[in-house]
Chain A
Amino acid sequence: MALPVLKAQTLFHSFADGSGTVFFDPDTGETLALEWNATTLQAVLSGLCEVKLDPQTLNQLRAFGSWPDSMRLDEQHDDN
């Protein structure tokens, strides 16, 4: 459920050196960096169930962007 929000609300880019992925919320101007290389990003965005988000990453993503109160980011694991 959260993935469409992530895709719709943010711009993202995985750097070629594999150091991470940066997200940008055009509405708020906020930026977030996560240690996801391109492969991990692709796996997360495609909703692969074996990709597990650790609590710290979840908290970072929850604090980023305008997430509806009713939406739990970690629902992606339940849904997939």
Chain B
Amino acid sequence: MTITKQLYLPPFTFSVTTDIPLVAANLQRLYAHAPQAESLLVDYPLRLERGAGLRRLFKPQARFFADTQEPFQPLQLQQGYAMLEWGMNWCIAAHEMQYVIIHSAVLAKGDKAILFPAPPGSGKSTLTAYLAFNGWRLLSDEMALILPFSNKVQPFVRPICLKNRSIALAKSWFPTGVFSSIATDTHKGDVVHLSPPAASWQGALQQAEIVAVVFPSYQADTNLDIYSLDQTQAFMQLARNAFNFGVIGQEGFATLTAIIEQVPAFEVQYNDLTAVAAFLEQEVLADAR
């Protein structure tokens, strides 16, 4: 059976059509609290389909289509839901040039947001999940959508992508959390998506002001070390995590330099999430008020 689900994920609307029951079931569960669509206009019509031919009998595959494009090679069928989430990321990173897009988590208290730009393996998503389920509002786990020539960030609320050892940790921390099925042996290892708390979904239309940039780096042997970055270091690290900086040119450069001029930047090495949360609340947010 083929189903179509419309997802209003401000500021974008997706429609997902799939004949893969696992994908349909995960979509229904993880996006149960997403905002209701305000319009029938769809920005990205997506399809997740079972591969055709003999292969579907002995080694079934999932194929991702964005409108008429098929940007990725097929993956194992059990990886189909993860493929959909990554495909949605690709749609935005490849097409939405009206924002300065940073590979970064974004979390806020009220309308004060902190960017957490980081490469894979830095523990960004584990930290994101911890904060989102401990009083912070998730704006994004994966990409910061910054309005050009401003320090405003647009929420793009989606499930949090957890990998490998962080999966078991998150399941023990949040036993009532809504987790996707596990996708094993992906290029990122084992992957699970976690639906954000209802409060984050409810804030999906509420932009926030960037008040700090924190580069997280999980270090197994470090409780908490905090380094204040000078503005040049902070800019270069931020630029390295920018998706479309090189494409949009002057807008991106002016926006990022202005943000770095206005807000403090830190590198945080940690293995203690509670200590990070305390630093963010008592030092970073307190100074921003």
Contact = CB atoms under 8 A, between A and B. Distances in A.
Interface of A: 11, 13, 15-17, 19-22, 24, 26, 28-31, 33, 35
Interface in B194-234: 230-233
A28 B253 CA distance: 13
B51 to A, nearest CB: 35
Interface majority SS (helix, strand, loop, mixed), chain A: loop
B233 A13 contact: no
B249 A26 contact: yes
Nearest to B244: A29
B235 to A, nearest CB: 5
B: interface residue count bin = 10 to 19
Nearest to B231: A15
B230 A17 contact: yes
Contact of A19 (B233, B239, B246, B247): B233
Interface of B: 230-233, 235-236, 239, 245-247, 249-250, 253-254, 257, 260-261
Contact of A26 (B230, B236, B250, B260): B250
Contact of A33 (B235, B246, B249, B254): B235
B276 to A, nearest CB: 24
A56 to B, nearest CB: 16
B236 A29 contact: no
B235 A22 contact: yes
B258 to A, nearest CB: 9
Given A13-B253, A13-B257, A29 B232 contact: no
Contact of A29 (B231, B245, B260, B261): B245
A28 B232 contact: no
Given A11-B250, A15-B260, A28-B246, A33 B236 contact: yes
A13 B236 CA distance: 12
B235 A15 contact: yes
A29 B245 CA distance: 7
B257 A22 contact: yes
A35 B231 CA distance: 11
